[in-house]
Structure 1
Amino acid sequence: MSLRQRIFGEVEVEWRFAFGHDMRVMMHPNIRVILLMASSVALALRPTGNPAPAESSRVRVLLDTDTFNEMDDQFFVTYALMEPRFEIEGICATQYRVTEASVDESYYEARRILNLMGMSGRIPLRMGSDTAMPDPQTPRSSPASRFIVERALAKDPRPLHILAVGALTNVASAYLENKKIRDRIRIIWLGGSRWPEGALSEFNAVNDRAAVKCIIEAGLDLTQIPTETCAQQLTTTFAETERRLRHRNAVADYLIDLYRDYGHDQKVIWDMTAVACLLQQTEGKRFFTITDVPAPRVDEATLKYIPNPEGARMKVCTGLDREKIFADFYARFPPTADLDPPYLTLACSRDDPRAVTLTFNEDLDPDSVRSLSGFRLQPDVPVRGVQLVDARTVRLQLAASLDPSTAYTVACSEVRDVAGNPVGPRNTFRFQPQPEMHDGLRATLYAAGSKLTKLPVPELSDRAAVFRGQTLELWLSNSRKSFIEISLKAIFVVILEGNLEVPFKHEYEISCYADDAARIELDGRLLVEADLGAGSVRAASRVHLDKGLHPVRISFLQRGGQYLLNLYWNFPFHEKQRIPWNYFCFAAR
């Protein structure tokens, strides 16, 4: 015992904090209780789920992912990282365009997820090959393929489970570089469209045909999750995702943002199936119907499967339980309570002087908007009826017409959100009727020739419009019904004109997500320009705006193929969201 210990009664202890940091401290016995209390608090802050299992019972896992290709990869990586029984030995980025840079995009997107989850620097991240294998016998060596070999041959009796949710380039290359890994790896691959016939069109398979042939015919421990006959059943909606993940933690909010920017009502979260499949194989969960079959041969040119009764055994997933998988995923996030009150963010009366439209910042409890006594106008105009137009929009029918020369204040007192929170202090809005205005924007659709390849478009007055009229739908997509009824192979231009009604004087961020190109002009000035020449692109700009109407012109160019236009904004009392239709209006000509 040291002199200091004898004098102060201290004892030396080694302390391991719940966050993984080691510290050696000198501690007085009477202070132990304080540190024990601190330890309890730290443990309470750990992610929800089972306590960390003993090292020997954990499952060694390596993720091989084209993380930047679609939004489902980020869900996949998050799901895997949140499983306490998975010992994630590394993440390998794989290509998804067979061109330079796609693997770089996946690498840095995986790093972003690690940063959001506080795991940066703790899990190795390796970059794979930018190009597919030239044939089934020739590997594309890369840091990722060499890392797979290293981890597979590590001095550990446990096998290495590889969850591959993209092209099989890295995995097949690792096997060809060192076939000693054969008995040390277990592969789960999301890919191949239909079983048992195979398909030419499946994305992951097409991106490296030679690798598919190599892995399926190698006699490895392989489980395949076909996309069309299994994985596509794992579909969710944006509304469900936002409701289940909102404010749960930083990565949950990021997943919501990704889904919002993706621009579709619903999406298959393909890649999460690989995590769920491994949970079934190692933890006894029941998510899939899995069939043991002889591995077929593969026609590399067509990616059709050739029956091979004498082939080595492999497993194929032929069905899944969507509800159980999503329930397991969402349960891993820390619980949160919605304590935020709803706010009234806009009131307007357009076109019909006997109606007022109210907009709130979050979804409302339908029962809370039915009472006429819950809404009042000053100067007094009796409310005769109430209609919930959509989850955040209420329309009041009035007993008399509003006077366009008078400013009115509407107040709501009984509204609640879906969590039961009563309306907050911002429950009034002052407005002046605009009977000359119509909701939405004036839309003009032009079929353009091949020479029209970029924005801004030249004068279009000499062109015949395919469509002219009002649109309330500012979310344009080939997967949604709208005024755009035109061949996907066509080049076309949409011009949207009118006004943006700004509810508060403040700084706003206005952004768009476009495929292929878009320009937003506000108050006669260019605000946002989004155009990469091909494919989808995001762009945003911040601007200080006064309350009231601001002239807006939106130009959208489609160069053929799938198209998408989404408009978003951030402002007080709002998280980032699509700009609702009722914030736009235009005057009849």
Structure 2
Amino acid sequence: MKNILICISILIFTGCSQQNDTESNQQTTTSESELIPIIIDTDANNELDDQHAMAYLFFNNDLFNTIGVTVNATYSGGPIDQQVAEAERVMKLTDVMGQIPLLPGANGDFEEIRPNLNQPEYDGHAAVEFIIEEARKPRDQKLILLPVGKLTNIALALEKAPDIKENVRIVWLGSNYPEPGEYNQENDIPSLNYILNQDVPFEIVMVRYGEPSGSDAVRATPAEIEENMSGAGPEVDPVTGRHGGEFTNFGDYSVNLFSEIELHGDPPSRALFDMVAVAILKNPNWGEATEIPAPIVDGEDWEERPNNDRTITIWENFDKEAILDDFYSTMRSE
């Protein structure tokens, strides 16, 4: 009788243990499915904001599931191989290389590449096909496409696979709207106009050079970066930086990037434009969102289309202190 009772007890314990394991696995799966799926599309070697946006995204892995990094080439920073090389440096320094796919994208612009989309190896095909493949996968929420350079890769993906429009949400860092100009915009205006005319969720995180309402206002001085970033991030094997030297964490590389770049303003500082786009995805309260009828760019100037049923969202008036405090806190927690 005693042996029977022991056996029953073991069976009950084992059953409970298996049930707990199942519940634990279900909770883990649920947690992973709740992460925000995102692909960041970057001209990583352009200046220094892309690198900080990437690190901020990777280190918020309790909120974001970074599906991949796709790369494009803009006027500064060299051709696609140099842009990819800088993205790879950042991924090594943040200890995600090999865990997150890195795909080269377009060297050229939208109108140049568009007629060749049926060719097997058109310019940018690795990144564009990856975006399409990931956008077609079933998910509980829309895949966020976060272009922080020109919009070429994104526009090409929409052109080749119109069916992905309902599965994605595009959040672009660019534009001085309603004023003309801005680097990301000028690199491929036809790709911007193409997306403005598509029925796809499209949000613009404003740049607005010199204006307090844009991401240009979210700035850091070299002294602030040195104080907050020195030694920040996981320790990794030495990585040779863009300007030489070897680095074993992203924080020290951040300090080096700031020491090598031209500064503006009083005090002399540099904007962390692209990082702001990640920040408002993390906490929408750190910016103000407004829905407007989608305008168009005519030449270099914005043209309003007040009767346009197609609407987009613009983000402006960012909480600089909250964003930078969270950025530094995130970096130091790694």
TM range (shorter): 0.7 to 0.9
2:79 maps to which residue? 102
1:121, CA displacement in angstroms? Answer: 0.8
Distance 1:98 1:77, change over 3 A: closer
Query: Could you tell me how far apart the structure 1 residues matched to 2:109 and 2:43 are?
Result: 13
Helix, strand or coil for the counterpart of 2:172?
Answer: strand
Alpha-carbon distance change, 158 to 214 in structure 1, aligned in 2, over 3 angstroms:
same
Task: Give the Å deviation of 1:89.
Answer: 0.3
Offset at 1:120?
1.1
Q: Which residue is equivalent to 1:186?
A: 169
8 Å contact kept, 2:292–2:314? yes
CA-CA distance at 1:117 after TM superposition: 1.5
State the shift of 1:332 in Å. 1.0
More helix by share: 2
Q: Which runs of 5+ in 2 are unaligned?
A: 1-27, 118-122, 234-248
Q: CA deviation at 1:248?
A: 2.2
Distance of 1:315 and 1:191 partners within structure 2 = 13
Provide the rounded CA distance (Å) in 2 between the counterparts of 1:98 and 1:173.
Answer: 21
The one of 145, 152, 168 aligned to 2:151: 168
**Does residue 48 of structure 2 align to residue 71 of structure 1?**
yes
2:186 match: 206
Q: Which residue of 2 aligns with 1:449?
A: none
SS at match of 1:326: helix
The aligned counterpart of 2:21 is none
Distance (Å, rounded) in 1 between the aligned partners of 2:256 and 2:76: 27
Match of 1:248 among 232, 239, 262: 232
- Conserved in 2, the CA contact under 8 Å of 1:58 and 1:85? yes
Number of the residue aligned with 1:157: 140
Matched with 2:203 is: 223
Q: How many Å separate the matches in 1 of 2:126 and 2:204?
A: 25
Q: Which residue of 2 aligns with 1:276?
A: 279
Distance 2:112 2:36 in 1: 32
Please say if residues 295 and 302 of structure 2, whose CA atoms lie closer than 8 Å, have aligned partners that are also in contact.
no
Is this contact kept in 1: 2:33–2:140, CA < 8 A? Answer: no
Match of 1:382 in 2: none
* Superposed CA offset, 1:184-214 (max 9, x none): 0101101111x3x341x21101111110101
1:460-475 paired onto structure 2 within 5 Å? none
With over 3 angstroms needed to count, the CA separation of the structure-2 counterparts of 1:217 and 1:298, relative to structure 1, is farther
Pair 1:118-2:95 in alignment? yes
Q: Look up the SS of the partner of 1:54 in the other structure.
A: helix
2:331 to 325, 330, 333: 333
| Aligned equivalent of 2:258 | 259
Tell me the TM-score normalized by structure 2.
0.78
1:430-478, CA deviations, whole angstroms, 9 ceiling, x for partnerless residues? xxxxxxxxxxxxxxxxxxxxxxxxxxxxxxxxxxxxxxxxxxxxxxxxx
CA contact (8 A) 1:296 1:311 kept: no
8 Å contact from structure 1 (residues 141, 174) kept in 2: no
What letter corresponds to residue 331 of structure 2 in structure 1? F
The answer on 1:92 being equivalent to 2:70 is: yes
**C-alpha separation in 2, matches of 1:63 and 1:290:** 21
Q: Which residue of 2 aligns with 1:319?
A: 317
Structure 1: gaps spanning 5 or more residues? 1-50, 337-589
The 1-side partners of 2:69 and 2:319 are apart by: 27
Q: Secondary structure at the match of 2:307?
A: coil
Task: Give the aligned residue type for 1:92.
Answer: T
What is the aligned partner in structure 2 of residue 471 from structure 1?
none
Distance 1:252 1:120 in 2: 17
Q: Deviations over 1:259-306 (max 9, x none)?
A: 11114331011111110121135xxxx20011111111332x224233
How many Å apart are 1:53 and its aligned residue?
Answer: 7.9
Tell me by how many angstroms 1:98 deviates.
8.6
Higher relative contact order (CA 8 A, sep 6+): 2
Compared CA separation, residues 184 and 253, structure 1 to 2 (3 A):
same
Give the Å deviation of 1:79: 0.6
| RMSD (CA atoms) | 2.2
List structure 1 runs of 4+ shifted beyond 4 angstroms: 135-141
Aligned to 1:80: 57
For residues 47 and 105 of structure 2, the distance between their equivalents in structure 1, rounded to whole angstroms, comes to 18
Contact 1:136 1:214 in 2 (8 A): no
Write out per-residue CA displacement over residues 396-418 of structure 1, whole angstroms, 9 at most, x where no aligned residue.
Answer: xxxxxxxxxxxxxxxxxxxxxxx
Q: Do the aligned partners of residues 185 and 238 (structure 1) sit closer, same or farther apart at CA in structure 2, a change above 3 Å counting?
A: same
User: TM-score scaled by structure 1?
Assistant: 0.45
Question: Would the aligned equivalents of 1:66 and 1:96 in 2 still touch at CA under 8 Å?
Answer: yes
Report the structure, 1 or 2, having the larger strand content: 1
Percent of residue pairs identical: 26
* Contact preservation (8 Å) 2:45, 2:86: yes
Q: Give the superposition deviation at 1:309.
A: 2.3
Secondary structure at the aligned position of 1:316 is classed as strand
Q: 1:136 & 1:296 partners in 2: Cα distance?
A: 24
1:191/1:220 CA distance change after superposition, 3 Å: same
